[in-house]
């Protein structure tokens, strides 16, 4: 089925799967630069029929893959500029851009592109992640610090004016917590009882109509997505992740999304396959019910 889902030769795709193979600032486990190819490769194992929505999005919509090449050795600052330019080009063409990481630092480029197209205050970022990523820079653990490290991505976002809702948080520094309070970030810590009441609370914290969904593999419990650079026990369950994402699409307008921090391991494809499932689910929800 990859030939049915991913139409690389399509001139006018509805969906752009944009792979950013970047892993320059990871602070623990490496390999996120292998994530995009691994996720795309797993699409060949997906059924065209998406069972949770009861739709066949690949039959109705053209999905094209693009890999941003020659990015692996770029500095964080160079990478952010390149990603912003690439994403911005697709946004001008009104495409639904689903970005595959790569480490979470690529988000600074994505949000930079959105900030040029829209007022950031009109788009809430809903971040599924174990970490707040609200450091100002990574100088507390890196001898060559950058303000565009993976642990800083949401700090750059809120500074641009994007409202931020964080789901799955269970590891942070005290100064990140202070930054969250200062920037009025709604942070939902895990583990906790997962139910409809919690989904309603998360939805109530989103004050804008339009949202952007950013999924870090470590946001989910490692039982579901073990191959990631900084796994933390006690994340979102598989079912709750799908229920929450569906509720976000039901109640809000999702303008874009990313799936990051997948770091493939030898002889274990669970994480990248799960990421492919999530991505196809996002596409199905985005275009369900449309001609």
pLDDT over threshold 70, residue 255? yes
Into how many domains does the chain fold? Answer: 1
Give the mean pLDDT of the chain.
93
Q: Indicate which CATH number applies to the domain containing 225.
A: 3.40.800.10
Contacts with 282 (C-beta within 8 Å, 6 or more apart), sequence order: 98, 213, 245, 254, 257
Give the pLDDT band of residue 291 (cuts 50, 70, 90).
very low
Residue 262's φ and ψ, nearest 5 degrees, are -85, 120
Quote the pLDDT of residue 1.
42
Quote the pLDDT of residue 257.
99
Give the pLDDT band of residue 9 (cuts 50, 70, 90).
low
Closest residue by Cα to residue 20 from 86, 99, 78? 99
pLDDT tens-digit readout, 62-117: 888 899 988 888 999 999 999 999 999 999 999 999 999 999 999 999 999 999 99
Query: Distance between CA atoms of 19 and 63, rounded to whole angstroms?
Result: 13
Domain that holds residue 273: 2-287
Higher pLDDT, 233 or 143: 233
Inter-residue contact 271 to 227 (CB < 8 Å):
yes
The pTM assigned to this predicted structure is 0.95
Determine how β-strand 96-101 pairs with β-strand 186-189: unpaired
Quote the pLDDT of residue 28.
80
Quote the pLDDT of residue 4.
57
Closest residue by Cα to residue 152 from 83, 211, 210, 103? 103
pLDDT tens-digit readout, 68-79: 988 888 999 999
Burial 167-190 (b: 16+ CB within 10 A, else e): bbbbebeeebeebbeebebbbbeb
pLDDT tens-digit readout, 145-203: 789 888 899 999 999 999 999 999 999 999 999 999 999 999 999 999 999 999 999 99
Residue 97's φ and ψ, nearest 5 degrees, are -100, 120
At residue 62's C-alpha, the angle toward residues 58 and 67, to 5°, is 105
């Amino acid at each position: 089925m990859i030939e049915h889902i991913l139409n690389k030769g399509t001139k006018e795709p509805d969906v752009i799967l944009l792979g950013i193979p970047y892993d320059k600032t990871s602070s623990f486990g490496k390999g996120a630069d292998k994530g995009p190819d691994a996720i795309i490769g797993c699409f060949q194992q997906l059924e065209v029929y998406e069972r949770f929505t009861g739709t066949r999005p690949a039959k109705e919509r053209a999905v094209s893959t693009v890999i941003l090449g020659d990015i692996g050795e770029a500095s964080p600052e160079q990478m952010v500029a390149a990603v912003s330019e690439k994403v911005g080009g697709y946004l001008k063409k009104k495409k639904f851009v689903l970005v595959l990481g790569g480490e979470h630092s690529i988000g600074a480029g994505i949000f930079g592109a959105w900030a040029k197209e829209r007022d950031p205050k009109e788009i809430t970022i809903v971040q599924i992640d174990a970490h707040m990523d609200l450091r100002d820079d990574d100088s507390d653990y890196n001898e060559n610090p950058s303000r565009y490290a993976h642990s800083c991505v949401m700090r750059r976002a809120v500074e641009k004016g994007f409202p931020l809702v964080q789901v799955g948080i269970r590891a942070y520094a005290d100064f990140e917590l202070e930054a969250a309070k200062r920037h009025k970030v709604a942070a939902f810590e895990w583990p906790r009882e997962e139910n409809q009441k919690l989904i309603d609370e998360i939805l109530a914290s989103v004050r804008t109509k339009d949202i952007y969904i950013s999924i870090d593999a470590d946001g989910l419990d490692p039982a579901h997505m073990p191959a990631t650079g900084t796994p933390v026990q006690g994340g979102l369950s598989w079912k709750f992740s799908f229920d929450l994402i569906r509720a976000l699409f039901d109640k809000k307008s999702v303008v874009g999304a990313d799936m990051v921090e997948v770091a493939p391991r030898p002889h274990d494809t669970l994480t990248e396959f799960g990421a492919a499932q999530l991505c196809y689910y996002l596409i199905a929800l985005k275009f369900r019910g449309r001609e």
